[in-house]
Amino acid sequence: MPMVRHRLGFAALGTVGVAVALAGAAAVTWAQGAAAPPRVLHEDLPSPGGSDSPLVGSDPTAGQNPEAFASGDKVLPEPELAPKDPGEAVFGRDGSVTDRDTETRPDYQTDADGTLHYTAVFNPDVMPFKRMSSLDGIDPGYKNVIRDATLRDLPVGGATDRSRDRFWASLMVELTPGEPIAIPSVAPDMRVLSYETQPAIHVTFSKDSADNFYVRTDDRGARGQFRLVFLADADAGYFAPQLPTRAYSVARVRELAQREGLLPTLPPDVVPAARQALAELGVGDTDELGAAFNKLVAYFRAFEAKPVAEATGDVYWDLFKHQAGVCRHRSSTFTVTANALGIPTRYVFNEAHAFVEVWFPERGWQRIDLGGAAARLDVSNAEDKTVHRPRAADPFAKPPEYTNNYTQLTGDISGLSQAQLDDAHAPLSDAPPSGAFDAPGNGGGPGDNPGGDDPVFGPGADAPGLAIDNTKPTPRLSVTLADPVGYRGEGLMVEGRVEARDGRGIAGLRVDVFLAPVGRGGADGTPIGRGVSNPDGTFTIDAVVPGELDLATYELYVSTRGDARYNPAYSDE
């Protein structure tokens, strides 16, 4: 495949830096094998350590999203502000996907579910753990409720960092001025960093005591359906639950929870059965948190979809005693039991799954999946999305009844490609988590790709797993402009275009920039930047020349790893 090669040389400028210049620029260069450059007594360079930000393009703010963000070994572009797709759910209308239930009771319909339908709205998507309804209180008759429906407005913005995972959301919303509508979230502490709407309006985000999220507009003329695209982040620990680093007794956890106002008060008719359940489990206030919590998780994850024989009429006790039911039964009864013990717990669900959130000292709220039972999970709207990968595996008890079910994306799953399933199931040691943004091969800046563990894709350096699929088209990449001079450890702007063979621009493809030694056909390349193609196929990437790069002459390449639509490709004529 022919290629466009931009040759770069390095020259010492005084004693403060090392320049990188395009061939022909007014600078002194040394090709390999030439005389050594003058001795440099001092060189101010940034220390290696990876890119400081996962964001690509504009700074996030109300009304302006960045172009993309790095997520693991991928770059995820901003979703298009596109019109409503046929059959797409509209939040603000009634429907199984968009409904928010404010109360629910356990029931005796404990047989396995049939086909469950889940709609993906986030990228990466936390399937099937989207938060649509979160209930943080318990009323008489074991009813789960929202303790306080009062809404508090949330700021938009904030700097994201390595302790948080990032997500795109794309929703159709039907708005009436001054009326909040329910929208899903990925975590209780989700922050909205930026948003855009089409048509353009101002919106306000808010949430209630159970961290259910809402959006509204106060613009008088804003009425009807709008595309809402927002960038959010959330504490990575929520998706990778762990016990606190210090030892706590259950009694101490209760004290701390009450101080924070998080522990629900159980009604008198709920307390006797809950205390009896705790006695049968053999847990109490004096127990160490980890031991007590593992007992609870092991017991409720062992529930099975089966009828309750000889029901007493106390639905909580019958479900608990027989370990009977699917996700909503085990989650609702776990919520009562854990709150009775002193561990703040919420009952959370969406159109396809129910799970719980627990609060630990030091850790905050964490997602705990207790499993489910269904014949099939049908996922829609997932074609252009990746599956969220947490940073650590769930460390809690996993009885056989739990390990093989749809909540782990195993069994009969439709609507996801094999590549998406493989990505979701890959061991943490084989692929980076979604929250990483300077993982090997991301090309985010100095310090990325240490040791070359994940070679960049390009001529002479075809990365593993990037085979050409003859059923997909191969795009064409070109560099149209690059800075004539840059400095080692500083920026180098690269502009170009990604297009189809008929000349149409291709949007939303990850583009990597790398330097390779002259004459090696792109082998041994060093990634220096990444970006994503705009709607017209163009890209502008502010790359960073690594501070540790040897003085030599290099060639500049751009490449793409492709996606579900297009093959990988590198710059050509």
Query: Which pLDDT belongs to residue 40?
Result: 43
**Second CATH level (architecture) for the domain 6-51+438-570:** Sandwich (2.60)
Query: Which pLDDT belongs to residue 552?
Result: 74
Query: Which pLDDT belongs to residue 510?
Result: 83
475 SS3 class: coil
Query: Which pLDDT belongs to residue 546?
Result: 83
Query: Which pLDDT belongs to residue 572?
Result: 59
Query: Which pLDDT belongs to residue 485?
Result: 67
Taking only the tens place, the pLDDT of each residue in 437-486 is 864 334 333 233 333 334 455 555 444 446 678 888 999 998 998 887 66
Which has the closest alpha carbon to 325: 101, 102, 113, 105? 113
Query: Which pLDDT belongs to residue 4?
Result: 36
10 Å CB burial of residue 268 (0-12, 13-18, 19+) is exposed
> Which residues of the chain are under the pLDDT cut of 50?
1-50, 439-455, 461-465, 573
| Cross-strand pairs, 449 | none
- b/e burial code for range 332-369 (CB count within 10 A of at least 16 → b): bbbbbbbbbbbbbbbbbbbbbbbbbbbbbbebbbbbbb
Q: Which residues contact 176 (CB under 8 A, 6 or more apart)?
A: 92, 223
Give the distance between the most distant pair of CA atoms in the chain. 92
Query: Which pLDDT belongs to residue 194?
Result: 97
34 SS3 class: coil
Q: Under a CB-based contact definition with an 8 Å cutoff, are residues 21 and 36 in contact?
A: no
Taking only the tens place, the pLDDT of each residue in 252-310 is 999 999 999 998 899 999 999 999 999 999 999 999 999 999 999 999 999 999 999 98
Which has the closest alpha carbon to 525: 8, 90, 2, 54? 8
Residue 19 identity: A
Output the pTM of the full model.
Answer: 0.79
Query: Which pLDDT belongs to residue 533?
Result: 85
Treating both helix axes as pointing N-terminal to C-terminal, what angle do 327-341 and 271-281 enclose, rounded to 10 degrees?
90
Q: Would you list the domain boundaries of the chain?
A: 6-51+438-570, 58-101+147-238, 113-143+241-425
